[in-house]
Amino acid sequence: MMSEIPTVLFVCVHNAGRSQMAAGYLQALAGDRVRVLSAGSEPADKINPVALAAVAEEGIDITADTAKILTTEAVRESDVVIPMGCGDTCPIFPGKRYEDWDLDDPAGQSIESVRPIRDEIGRRIRALIGELQTA
């Protein structure tokens, strides 16, 4: 059962690209209607600069974000958990919605290669917002 303000957790290994872009998109588009978390099992030292640039082109600023370690508590407090197709394992709790987004990793890719990943994340975020509003 979803709480009044749903919490969405995006997970990838380094929490430096896909999960950060997705969190930034959801925060920018949903505002205070959704609580947004992101984490990784092996957080990077910094956010991927190409991911930062890609979402900045869409008017989304994630420069203040940092990579965070995935905790059982983060999963427990989330209504929706979205691993980003990187084979990361998340603790499984009954009553949570899990949705795997199988997306290419932007690590080491050019901005031209990351834009389609960003655009797919944006499309999925818009669909997710629609689903959360009707839940």
Dihedral angle computed from the Cα positions of residues 72, 75, 76 and 81, in that order, rounded to the nearest 10 degrees:
-160
Let me know the angle formed at the C-alpha of 98 by 95 and 100, rounded to the nearest 5 degrees.
175
Out of 90, 103, 114, 117, pick the active-site residue.
90
Return the SS3 of 82: strand
Lookup: tokens for 9 = 């957790």
- Residue 86 catalytic? yes
Out of 39, 86, 128, 132, pick the active-site residue.
86
- Residue 13 catalytic? no
- Residue 90 catalytic? yes
d(CA 49, CA 79): 29
Q: Which of 78, 119, 81, 126 is nearest to 100 (CA)?
A: 81
d(CA 104, CA 85): 8
Out of 8, 12, 55, 67, pick the active-site residue.
12
Active site residues: 12, 86, 90
